[in-house]
Amino acid sequence: MAGTLYTIQAKVITHGCATPYELTIISVEDESGLLDVFAKGACGRNRSAVRAPILAAGDRVDLLIEVIGGVKTNELGTPPEVIVLWIDRAEE
């Protein structure tokens, strides 16, 4: 996935991992629309050198993501969780 960062929001999570970690929620906009993506910091699976908190709104990025869960379009339910596996600034 490639797109432009729209918003970045970080918060510390104290449960669900062996240690507190910083969860960063980034909204990425591409030609199909806006998608919220979770970067789980020290508790995540991001294998790149770039970490979400060092990015800024307006940055162009390339992402490898994992989509967990989801719903059918004709059912109500929980949206899928989208997690960063790799992120980098896109070359312009």
Instruction: Tell me the per-residue pLDDT of 57-88, one tens digit each, with 9 for 90 and over.
Output: 999 999 999 988 765 555 566 778 899 999 99
The pTM of the full predicted model, rounded to 2 decimals, is 0.79
Could you tell me which residue, 39 or 92, shows the higher pLDDT? Answer: 39
Which one, of 30, 25, 40, 38, lies nearest residue 62 by Cα? 30
Summarised one tens digit per residue, pLDDT across range 21-47 is 889 999 999 999 999 999 988 888 888
First to last CA, the chain: 15
pLDDT at residue 76, rounded to an integer: 63
CA–CA dist 86, 20 (Å, integer): 21
CATH numbers and ranges of domains, the chain: 2-89 (2.40.50)
